[in-house]
Amino acid sequence: MEVVYRCCCGIDVHKSLIVACLRRGGKQELREFGTMTCEIKALASWLSEAGCEMAAMESTGSYWKPLYNLFELLNLDAIIVNAAHMKAVPGRKTDVKDAEWIADLLQHGLLRASFVPDRAQRELRELTRYRKSIIEERSRELKRSANEYCEDALRRTEEAIQQALEEVRESRSRFRAVSREKLQSQQARVEEQTGGK
């Protein structure tokens, strides 16, 4: 197969681990790095010192973004590739084999780069997403506050209705008692006037 890159690197990126396979001519060198900025800079330094022409990595979640951004700032050429375009090789189970496979495909020009917008557009997207998340959080908070206010208002209204009903019951009891007293006093007067008949 035709060799497109004499020196290239296949990178398998995970949440807390980066496995890099550097291919120079017929030789390859494997190294593992962490995902902290200083460790990514060490990876970039290693690639620069080796004269790496191109690096390729899978678009695994969002784990590739810090790596890509640092490579871009340090003027290292890198491409992001879709894992589906690489078609898994039977038996390919480890991160090391993934990195080797990516490096092999890259060296022979068999990888197709995914579209990655320029830095300004990526930053605008991040700001837009951040703004959207803040608006959604604010909306959730307003709804929560409105719900709490409504629940409180309903509770107070219910208490006021209960109190009014209790007052009505007490009024009825008082009315009955007063009515009974008046009725009894009138009955007593009628009996007095009629002589008990």
| Residues of the chain above pLDDT 90, percent | 50
Determine the average pLDDT of the residues in 119-131. 93
Neighbouring-strand partners of residue 21? 10, 30
Residue 142 CB-half CA count within 13 A: 6
pLDDT at residue number 195: 72
Q: How does residue 196 score in pLDDT terms, banded at 50, 70 and 90?
A: low
Sequence spans of domains, the chain: 7-116, 117-197
Distance CA 60, CA 67 (A): 12
pLDDT per residue as tens digits for the range 16-57: 999 999 999 889 999 999 999 999 999 999 999 999 999 999
The CATH superfamily holding the domain 7-116 is: ATPase, nucleotide binding domain (3.30.420.40)
Q: CB atoms < 10 A from the CB of 60, how many?
A: 14
Nearest to 55 by CA among 3, 120, 113: 113
Distance CA 34, CA 38 (A): 9
Distance CA 15, CA 45 (A): 21
Phi-psi region of 57 (alpha: psi -120 to 50; beta: other; left: phi over 0): beta
pLDDT at residue number 180: 83
71-80, 92-101, 164-173: the lowest-pLDDT one: 92-101
pLDDT per residue as tens digits for the range 87-115: 654 555 566 788 888 898 898 888 888 89
Amino acid (one-letter) located at 65? K
Q: pTM for the complete prediction? A: 0.66
Q: How does residue 73 score in pLDDT terms, banded at 50, 70 and 90?
A: very high
SS (H, E, C) 74-113: CCCCEEEECHHHHCCCCCCCCHHHHHHHHHHHHHCCCCCC
Could you give the dihedral angle defined by the CA atoms of residues 114, 82, 86 and 40, in that order, rounded to the nearest 10 degrees?
90
